[in-house]
Each structure stands twice: as C-alpha cells, then as structure tokens.
C-alpha cells in the first residue's frame, strides 16, 4: 500500500511540544526484536520469530515534512513501531500542527494476529496506518503487543482509498463517494470522532447488513443452520438490548466481525467441534454477536486509556452479558444439553447455570495464586487473565456491587456513565464517580480493594450460638480483605433471611433474629467471588450435623462445598517389571486448586499379579506478599518393582518453597526443596552381587532457577545429598538459544563432586549416560536393564552422554558438557565431552558425537551415535542397539506443552 497522509494535530494540552510521537503498529511485524515479537516469545509462540520476510509486515517511511514542505527529522524508537518526530518549530498550547507523510506499507500475513492478508487473497486491515500517540501531561506511548489496544486521540478521518474493483469493501467508516479510476475502484471514507479505521477487502463478500430503528449493523459473524429471519431476529434482540442498557450509538453504522470474535471468543464448551457443542445454534450466535458487538460499541465510543483502564469496558461488557442470559435464557445450564445425559447429570458442574462459569474460571486462577488486580495494565496480565479471568472478575464485581447496594441502581449508573461520557475522554476516576453518585452505601471498598488489589476474599463462620429468639454468629475474615459479606438463613434450600455485614477485619459477632433457620450460610448465592466456600456454613441443629458427607464421583468435578468429594479415575501405566499397571486413582482435586490434597493410586501389576501403587498427601499455602508465593508440605510414597521380582518402596517427606518475580508474565521461577528420601528394597545377590545396603535414606536439598522462554531458555540447579555412607554436591546448567537465522544452540554443563564416599559399588556414583536413579525420580521403563531396547532409553541427567561406555561411572568427581545445534529443522548434530575421576584411578577424558532428531524437545527425541571413545560407532556391529531415545508417556507432562502460554 502506498500512502500519502496529512495529519492535523491539535495541541489541547497546556504544554509546548517540540517533539511528537507517531504509532506505526504495522512495523511491529518487521523484525525479531520488536515488542510484538517479544510478546509472541513470552507466550511460547515462535511463528513470528521464524517467519520469512515475505510474510512480515513493515513500513517504509519515504518522507515527513511540515506545512511548508520542509523535511522534519525523525527516528524509530527501539520497539520499531514508534516514530519520534523532532519538530522544526514548537507547537504551543491551542495551536495546530500539520504533518505530511509519504510511506509504503507491506502488510503482514494474517496468520500472526489475524490482521493482514490471508491465503485466499483477502485483506483484513487494522492498525495499517501511522497515527499520533496521545499526549496527556506526557506522551502515552504503547507498542503493538497483539492486544488490540491502540490508544489514539479522538479523530476525524477522511480516507481516499483505491483498490482493485473485483474486491468487496466493508469498513467502520461511512462511504461518501465511489468512482472508478482506471482499473481501480476509488472510495472516499469519512468518519468523525473515531479512534480507528478498519477495512475488510474480500473477493467474495461475507458481510451482511441488518438495519433497525437504532442503527445499521454490518457483520460476518459465522453461523450454522440459521435462516435469514432467525439471524435478523437475533441481531434485532442484541441491538435493542445494548441500546436499552447503554444508550444510543452515536454513529450511523457498526461493523462487527468474525475476526474480532475469534480474537476474543466465548471460551468454554461452545468451542468444541460443532457435533459436540451442547448449545443451540441460536444461543451461540446471539452470545457471539452480543460479546463482539458490546466490545465494539464500547471501544468505539469511550475514549479511555485502552491499556491502563481497559477493565472498565471489560466490567460493563461482562456485566451486560450476565444480565442478558438472566433475562433471555434464565434456565440455561453451563453444560447445556450435556447436563441432561445420565452420565453427566450427577456431576455438580452439570447443575450449574450458564453464568456460573464466570466465578468458576476466575477462581481457577485465584486458586493457583495467579490472579491479578483489575487495575493491572493490560500488557502486564497473564494471557488467561487478559482473555478470561480478569474480564470475568470485573463483571462479577459489578454484580457483587449491585447485590450489596440492593437497589438495582448499577444498571442505571452504567447507562448514565455511558450517556455522559460517550465520545469523550474517560478514566477510572470518572467511572468511580459515576458509581458513587447517589449510592445508598459506602462503596469505597470496591475501588480500594476489589479493583486495586489482588487480595483474596475469604470469610468463615467461626461459631454460632442460638437462643430462643436470636442467633449470635461470629464471622472471621481469614484474609483481612475489607469487603462486605452476605449471610443467609436457609431451611430446606429455601432462603428465609439475608443480611450484609461490613468492616470485618478480624472477627466480629453479630446478633440476628432466629426465624427457624436450619443453616447459616455465607455467600449462599455465590455472587461474591470468594476464595474458599468449603467453610461458609454452620448448622443450627447441633455439632454432629456440621459434618459434610462423603460423595464418591468419577473423574473430576467442580467443587461442591457441602460434600467431601472423593474422585476416582481408572489409570494405566507401564514398566517392564510390572507390565501394564492398572489402577484406581482416588483424589480430591476439583477444577479449582485446593490447599489440602491427597492423591492415592492403588494398582495391580499384570506381570506377577502383585499390588503396587503410589500416593501423595500435601498442603499448599499460597501467599500474596513478596516473591515467596507458595510453600508446600508433603509426604509421598510409591511401591513398584525395579528388577524381576524385586520390589522397591519409597517414603519421602518434603518441604518446597516457590518464588517468582513481581512480573507475573515472566517465565522466571525459583524453588527451594528439602526432602528426606527413604528407600526400602528387596535385594537378590544373584542379580546384583554387590555390597550395597538394600535400604537407605538420603537427605536432599535442591535450589532451582529457570527462565523457560521459547527463544531463550536458561535454567540451573544445585543439588546436595547426604546419606550414611556418602555425601555429594552437583551443579547442572542448561541453555538454549534460537538465533535470528533460525538456528538453535543447546548447551548443558554438569559438575559433581563427592564430599565423602564410603560405598563399595557404583550404585550411588555419577554416571555418564544412564544414572542408576537411586532416588527413583526418573521415569525409566526398565531401570535395571543392561541390554535390549529398554536399556536404550536415556534421560538427560548427570553426564548426559548418548554413547554407552564400558565403565561409565565416577565415584569421585565428574565434569561434562553437552552441545547440539540444528542443521535442518529438527535434525541436529550433538557432541559431548567430559572428564571423570574415580578413586585410585587416573582421570579420564571422554567424548561422543552424533545426530539428534529433536522431534519434541524433552518429550520425544532420538539419538544416533557417530563417533566417540569407542571409535566409529556407526560402522560397528549391532548399531541399532546403540540408538538412544527419550520418550514421555505422562499425559500431565504433555498437557503442559499446550497450556504453558496461558499460565
């Protein structure tokens, strides 16, 4: 695109400006070090890093001149998508500045952010032109981070646009004139008081326009099996609802697109394949249309700081979506038609209403201690918070506030706020003033606690005392978060009374009338997004009625605070000595994380028909202050076979501390673990004729640091072990770098030294290629095998070598280095070197090299040795026995590959 542009910039400030900043978000695609590229890397997406130049976007600025055509100095900032312009003459308060720009734009492929060109020759244009940044006492400069939050001044646009005539054009501006210019179509687009220009060029028009008394809505939101009348009815209902609850849209038409919906879809069961979706097409279409239209409606008319104050429009959008379902689909279940299936209806989640997804998905993050304050700038949010949990918390906050006030005024206050500030600059203080105006109660807590902090809400009923006409109830604020809490009196699932209590910092006792209630329940309607609801009720029928009954359920479910839920899941695993291991896993892990958990897997080994299994009991304490965010106290154990007919059992008490930075988006994690590993083994001297004590205990402490980015990966740990007959210290470092030429370098360093070693075998020694795993930490399929394919399994630990050696052990010290780099995609060359030393023996230099097929790093890899101390291994007999492999069978480990970008 070749662009000639004039910008008239009005200096509305009280400052004299000598420089002006322009946003050029299209140029964010141009390199691998832009803010956009770094954002992709943070979310484990290397598509932009690996992209060819032909699919990258960039902007080539030809000239920048003033009104007299005098050249103006300009330069790009480090982010590459911000241009600093040094003016020839200052712009005084109240004056205007005319800039004339000439530049060419190469659009990016739509595969990155859905904006640009697609494989079918269609064009989705957003953020395709240069526009001034906002000056508000200082320049507010935001780079493109794929957040759709360009912050611009309220602008009047006139665009003369030429394009091939066989394309259909749809835009959010008004078309004032069309004509042919040679073999091109020319349109003149105008729009006043706008903040964005969107252009959609398609070879086959996918948009339809629906007109009613409020506005003309142009949309291409996808639908299935819906006739024109059904779609028109849905559009009409959505537009009327929005206009009734917000006010009149100030522009004649509104553009609502499938692209914008797909960037922020309805997360949940509606994203299942169409043949599995439990909701009707009409319901899905209405909610898709409602969510996207609300977003565009608010985004186009409220000129707020889109990165700092985005929570305001998120709150209004989610609140109105909740109210829409309450009004038009009050009986809709969270699982839709699936709730009616006999296999599903016994689950607690099947009984939840559709709007229950909002607190459920917010608590998913809060229970992991990953929630963030609503006032957090958008680019500082974890992806799950930015897309889902933060939006839901914001909307729930307005529902919470509405219930607390009890006068139904929030809906009217939102409408008044929109009417007063539509097409005006607005900030969080304006929204606060609107909500506080005429409020019947003090709502400072909403902004001081709920919006501004990530403090958890958690109350409990500590005790109750019943008299003939009164009940004295003591409520404890477990988190000291000063917000109001509701108390319900319940009898046979009927609410007999409801009260609101405020300013409970520690404990407080209240007197309420006794109305023949059987239970007192805090937050019974679950409107308040409370951290722990398992201790929210007390029975008035005596001590023994307080106990929750046990409920046995299949697989996993949402938390039901009135039961002790025990989940059972059939399991299957494999190791060579136990064969296929069939078990029944019993645990208490709900969809949201609980502080106390147990996970027991009694199993049957099909080879030998013996009982085996594992188990864990743990208490996790999440902390909100400082960098220490998690402490875990646990006891774990296991019992399997480590050789034919030889059993081992472990019992391991442990304490683990987790640390993170103040930046929740950072991939930096640190941990400190103390554990005492107790191993009990059966020993067969014919199989293992050494003097190693079959039973032993090892105290182990490890400090770990990791920064597991997909472009730059760096981790290290130091490990100390102490036992009766040995003590050792080791250090392990790993580094991976993906270079701009798409080559990846992998480096690893290991160093280990025995402080003392009184053992008489190599069972506890350092190993070059296959550690003995005496702490039973590794997932060996055949840990005692010395021949056959299972002996070829490798786990990169200690020496990390891939070739097998006659004497691979060191009982004094070992230093090794491993390296590899890719020569074509996932084909790499590797090399290992090291020095090892055993007592009473000279030190040895060892090395190997070969080819690595890095199919999925750390999960599925193959190693083909070429040359080592053994000579040319590829030319030696039985080469197939020298090939090594890494394989991970744990579903939990594999799932992390897909969820890591969200958390």
Residues of the chain with pLDDT > 90: what percent? 84
In a 13 Å sphere around the CA of 690, the CA atoms on its Cβ side amount to 10
Q: Which pairing describes strands 549-554 and 563-575: parallel, antiparallel, or unpaired?
A: parallel
Coil, strand, or helix at residue 238? helix
Mean pLDDT, rounded, for 24-29? 98
DSSP state of 446: I
Structure-derived torsion over alpha carbons of residues 658, 664, 666, 670, reported in degrees to the nearest 10:
-10
Other beta carbons within 10 Å of 272: 12
Gyration radius of the chain over CA positions: 32
Query: What residues pair up with 112 in beta bridges, in sequence order?
Result: none
Alpha carbon of residue 290 to chain centroid:
24
Spatial contact of 674 and 701, defined as CB atoms under 8 Å apart? yes
DSSP readout, 348-392? Answer: GGGGSBGGGHHHHHHHHHHTTT----TTS-GGGS-HHIIIIIHHH
Give the span between the Cα atoms of 432 and 422, in whole angstroms.
Answer: 16
Domains and CATH numbers, the chain: 1-153 (no CATH), 160-206 (no CATH), 336-451 (no CATH), 459-545 (2.60.40.10), 709-903 (no CATH)
DSSP string, 42-60: HTT--HHHH--GGG--EEE
In this structure, of 268-272, 512-516, 581-585, 739-743, the range with the lowest mean pLDDT score is 268-272
Q: What is the pLDDT of residues 258-305, one digit of tens each?
A: 999 999 999 876 667 776 778 999 999 999 999 999 999 999 999 999
564 against 18, higher pLDDT: 18
First-to-last C-alpha distance (Å) of the chain: 38
Write out pLDDT tens, residues 582-609. Answer: 999 999 999 888 899 999 999 999 998 9
* pLDDT tens-digit map of 307-347: 999 999 999 999 999 999 999 999 999 999 989 888 888 89
Q: Which of 640, 464, 626, 624 is nearest to 543 (CA)?
A: 464
Residue that has been written with the tokens 């070090």 in this structure? 33
**Dihedral of alpha carbons 525, 528, 534, 539, sign:** negative
Question: How would you classify residue 243: left for phi > 0, otherwise alpha for psi between -120 and 50, otherwise beta?
Answer: alpha
Higher pLDDT, 548 or 437: 437
Q: How high is the mean pLDDT of the chain?
A: 93
The reported pLDDT for the residue numbered 492 is: 86
Give the count of beta carbons closer than 10 Å to the beta carbon of residue 42: 17
- Contact yes or no for 885/793 (Cβ under 8 A): yes
What's the farthest any 2 CA atoms get from each other in the chain?
97
DSSP 8-class letter at 151: -
**Span 136-165, average pLDDT:** 96
- For residue 764, count CB atoms less than 10 angstroms from its CB and return exposed for 0-12, middle for 13-18, buried for 19 or more: buried
pLDDT of residue 118: 96
pLDDT of residue 375: 96
Neighbours of 752 (CB within 10 A): 23
Predicted confidence (pLDDT) at residue 544 exceeds the cutoff of 60: no
Residue 547: what pLDDT? 65
DSSP string, 312-349: HHHHHHHHHHHHHHHHH-TT-BTTGGGGGSTTTTTSGG
Where b means 16+ CB within 10 Å and e means fewer, 790-826 reads ebbbbbbbbbbbbbbbeebbbbbbbbbbbbbbbeeee
| CA 810 and chain centroid, separation | 43
Location of structure tokens 């269609």:
122
Please report which confidence band the pLDDT of residue 461 belongs to, taking 50, 70 and 90 as the band edges: very high
Q: Is the pLDDT reported for residue 545 higher than 60?
A: no
Give the mean pLDDT of 106-112. Answer: 97
pLDDT category at 897 given cuts 50, 70, 90 is: confident
State the pLDDT at residue 493.
Answer: 83
Q: What 3-state DSSP class applies to 427?
A: coil
What is the β-pairing status of strands 82-91 and 563-575? unpaired
**Cα→Cα distances 251→6, 294, 300, 425, 654, Å:** 24, 15, 9, 17, 63
pTM of the model: 0.94
DSSP labels, 278-316 = -S-HHHHHHHHHHHHHHHHHHHTTEEE-TTTSHHHHHHH
Q: Which two tokens stand for residue 864?
A: 């083909």
Task: Please state the length of the chain.
Answer: 903
- Over pLDDT 70: what percentage of the chain? 97
pLDDT over threshold 90, residue 218: yes
Contact 270, 277 (CB under 8 A): yes
The pLDDT value given to residue 688: 55
Tens digits of residue pLDDT in 821-873: 999 888 999 999 999 999 999 999 999 999 999 888 778 899 999 999 999 99
Q: Determine how β-strand 302-304 pairs with β-strand 424-426.
A: parallel
Beta 216-219 vs 253-256: how paired, if at all? parallel
Place of tokens 């030696």: 876
Angle, CA 30 vertex, CA 24 and CA 32 arms, to 5°: 125
Q: pLDDT, tens digit, for every residue of 372-391?
A: 999 999 999 999 999 999 99
Residue 440: Cβ within 10 Å count: 10
pLDDT value of residue 561: 85
Kindly report the CA angle at 432 between 429 and 435, in degrees rounded to 5? 155
| DSSP secondary structure code for residue 793 in this structure | B
Cβ contact 704:714 at 8 Å: no
Average pLDDT of the segment spanning 99-118: 97
Dihedral sign for Cα atoms in the order 299, 301, 324, 381: positive
Residue pair 808/767 in contact (Cβ under 8 Å)? The answer is yes
What pLDDT score was predicted for residue 894?
67
Distances (CA, A) of 852 to 749, 811, 865: 18, 29, 9
Task: For residue 559, give the DSSP letter.
Answer: -
Q: What Å distances lie between residue 630 and 26, 195, 534, 623, CA to CA?
A: 41, 43, 21, 6
**pLDDT band for position 891 (50/70/90)?**
low
pLDDT band at 224 (very low <50, low <70, confident <90, very high): confident
Q: What is the pLDDT of residues 622-657, one digit of tens each?
A: 887 779 999 999 999 999 999 999 999 999 999 999
Q: Which DSSP state fits 448? A: I
């Amino acid at each position: 695109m070749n662009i000639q542009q004039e910008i008239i910039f009005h200096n509305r400030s009280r400052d004299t400006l000598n420089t002006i900043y322009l946003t050029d978000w299209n140029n964010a695609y141009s390199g691998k070090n832009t803010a956009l590229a770094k954002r992709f890397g943070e979310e484990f997406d290397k598509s932009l890093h690996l992209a060819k130049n032909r699919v990258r976007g960039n902007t080539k600025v030809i000239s920048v001149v003033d009104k007299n055509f005098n050249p103006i100095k300009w330069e790009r900032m480090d982010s590459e998508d911000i241009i600093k312009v040094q003016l020839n003459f200052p712009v005084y308060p109240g004056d205007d500045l005319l800039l004339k720009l000439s530049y060419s734009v190469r659009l990016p492929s739509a595969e990155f952010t859905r904006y640009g060109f697609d494989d079918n020759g269609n064009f989705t244009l957003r953020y395709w032109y240069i526009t001034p940044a906002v000056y508000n006492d200082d320049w507010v400069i935001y780079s493109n981070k794929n957040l759709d939050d360009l912050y611009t001044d309220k602008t009047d646009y006139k665009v003369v646009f030429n394009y091939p005539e066989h394309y259909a054009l749809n835009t959010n501006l008004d078309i004032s004139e069309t004509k042919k210019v040679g073999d091109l179509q020319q349109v003149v687009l105008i729009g006043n008081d706008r903040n964005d220009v969107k252009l959609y060029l398609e070879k086959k028009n996918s948009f339809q326009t629906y007109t009613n008394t409020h506005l003309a809505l142009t949309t291409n939101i996808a639908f299935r099996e819906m006739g024109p009348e059904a779609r028109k009815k849905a559009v009409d209902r959505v537009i009327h609802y929005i206009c009734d609850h917000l006010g009149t849209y100030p522009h004649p038409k509104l553009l609502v697109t499938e692209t914008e919906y797909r960037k922020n879809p309805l997360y949940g069961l509606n994203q299942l394949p169409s043949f599995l979706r439990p909701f009707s097409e009409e319901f899905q279409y209405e909610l898709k249309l409602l969510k996207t239209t609300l977003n565009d409606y608010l985004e186009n008319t409220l000129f707020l700081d889109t990165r700092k104050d985005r929570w305001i429009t998120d709150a209004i959008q989610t609140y109105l979506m909740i109210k829409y379902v309450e009004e038009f689909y009050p009986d809709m279940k969270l699982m839709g038609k699936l709730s009616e299936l006999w296999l599903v209806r016994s689950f607690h989640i099947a009984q939840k209403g559709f709007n229950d997804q909002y607190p459920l998905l917010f608590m998913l993050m809060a229970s992991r201690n990953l929630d963030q304050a609503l006032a957090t700038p958008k680019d500082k949010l974890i992806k799950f918070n930015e897309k889902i949990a933060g939006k839901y918390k914001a909307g729930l906050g307005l529902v919470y506030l509405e219930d607390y006030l009890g006068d139904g005024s929030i809906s009217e206050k939102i409408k008044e706020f929109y009417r007063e500030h539509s097409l005006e600059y607005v900030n969080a203080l304006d929204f606060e003033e609107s909500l506080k105006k005429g409020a019947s109660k003090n709502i400072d807590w909403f902004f001081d606690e709920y919006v501004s902090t990530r403090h958890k809400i958690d109350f409990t009923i500590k005790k109750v005392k019943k008299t003939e006409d009164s009940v004295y109830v003591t409520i404890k604020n477990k988190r000291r978060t000063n917000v109001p809490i509701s108390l319900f009196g319940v009898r046979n699932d009927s609410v007999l009374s409801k009260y609101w209590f405020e300013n409970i910092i520690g404990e407080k006792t209240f007197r309420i009338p006794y109305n023949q209630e059987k239970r007192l329940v805090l937050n019974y309607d679950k409107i308040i997004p409370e951290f722990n609801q398992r201790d929210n009720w007390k029975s008035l029928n005596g001590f023994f009625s307080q106990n929750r009954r046990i409920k046995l359920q299949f697989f996993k479910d949402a938390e039901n605070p009135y039961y002790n839920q025990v989940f059972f899941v059939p399991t299957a695993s494999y190791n060579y000595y136990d064969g296929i291991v069939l078990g029944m896993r019993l645990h208490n892990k709900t969809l949201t994380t609980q502080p106390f958990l147990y996970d027991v897997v009694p199993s049957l080994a099909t080879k030998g028909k013996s009982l085996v299994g594992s188990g864990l009991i743990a208490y996790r304490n999440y902390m909100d202050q400082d960098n220490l965010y998690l402490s875990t106290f646990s006891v774990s154990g296991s019992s399997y076979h480590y050789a034919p007919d030889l059993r081992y059992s472990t019992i391991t008490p442990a304490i683990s501390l987790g640390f993170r930075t103040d930046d929740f988006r950072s991939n930096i994690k640190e941990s400190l673990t103390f554990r005492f590993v107790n191993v009990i083994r059966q020993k067969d001297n014919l199989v293992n004729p050494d003097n190693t004590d079959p039973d032993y205990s090892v105290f182990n402490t490890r400090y770990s640091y990791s920064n597991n980015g997909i472009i730059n990966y760096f981790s290290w740990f130091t490990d100390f072990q102490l036992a009766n007959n040995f003590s050792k210290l080791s250090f392990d470092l790993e580094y991976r770098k993906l270079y701009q030429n798409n080559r990846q370098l992998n480096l690893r360093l290991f160093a280990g030294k025995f402080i003392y070693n009184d053992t008489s075998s190599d069972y506890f020694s350092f190993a070059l290629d296959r550690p003995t795993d005496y702490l039973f930490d590794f997932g060996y399929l055949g840990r005692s095998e010395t021949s056959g394919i299972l002996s070829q399994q490798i786990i990169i630990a200690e020496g990390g070598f891939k070739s097998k050696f006659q004497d691979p052990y060191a009982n004094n010290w070992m230093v090794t280095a491993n390296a590899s780099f890719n020569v074509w995609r996932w084909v790499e060359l590797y090399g290992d070197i090291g020095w090892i030393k055993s007592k009473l023996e000279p030190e040895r230099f060892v090395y190997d090299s070969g080819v690595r097929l890095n199919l999925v790093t750390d999960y599925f890899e193959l190693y083909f040795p070429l040359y080592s101390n053994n000579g040319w291994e590829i030319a030696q007999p039985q080469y197939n026995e020298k090939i090594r492999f890494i394989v991970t069978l744990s579903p939990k480990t594999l799932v992390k590959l897909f969820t890591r970008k969200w958390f």
